Amino acid sequence: MENIEKHIKEISGELPEGVKLVAVSKFHPVESLRAAYKAGQRIFGESRVQEIKLKHEVMPADVQWHFIGHLQTNKVRALVPYVALIHSIDSLRLLECVDSEARRIGRVVDVLLQLHVAKETTKFGLTPDECKELACGYALEKMPNVRVCGVMGMATNTDDEAEVRREFRAIKTVFDELKATQFADCEYFKEISMGMSDDYRIAIEEGSTLVRIGTSIFGEREY
């Protein structure tokens, strides 16, 4: 557990102002999260609704839970009471579902639009054109219980740094276009979630504001 505290402090210490660390704690035990919390970490990323619920019940109340996995509409109702930010909105239907469930319990939920720019076909997300189209279908007055705060994406798992950089730059380009048009008057549209243990330094150089780091903090996942 001492290593977890050490890793949190080291990584947090190198992040520029305006960049936040999401400690990807999915599949890791509560004891590991508590060690990270002791080191000052408050944002944790999970990919299973039931896991957020269970950890929420035993972790301190000031923890922010970020959902970073693929989200199905039938899981939204169970997630909405606990989540601070959903990184993985990949359809207008899902966005509308989150709005509906948030309205039902009197909450406003922050979300990100997930882009797919990587070469792996197994990753979820919207193409840049689909993302822009979805953004045009979003209107705060129509969906007052969700706030689209930015975009999220993953780069290809490759040693080709130039390719990784190109893909992060493509995500940032979509963000910039949306910020200049659909979200020009939305001060809350400011987040770019990209970068993981192997590539977060490149992601930061390309404009990331949220880095999702798990292995470099907690070690390999426990399934």
All structural domains of the chain with their residue ranges: 2-217
The residues with which 152 forms a beta bridge, in sequence order, are 114, 193
CATH 3.30.1600.10 fits 2-217, yes or no: no
The residues with which 85 forms a beta bridge, in sequence order, are 66, 110
Phi and psi based region of residue 150 (left: phi greater than 0; alpha: psi -120 to 50; beta: remaining): left
What pLDDT score does 201 carry? 97
- Measured N-to-C along each axis, helices 30-38 and 2-14 cross at an angle, to the nearest 10 degrees, of 50
Write the pLDDT tens digit of every residue in 159-208. Answer: 999 999 999 999 999 999 999 999 999 999 999 999 999 999 999 999 99
Mean pLDDT of the chain: 94
Query: Is the pTM of the predicted complex or chain greater than 0.75?
Result: yes
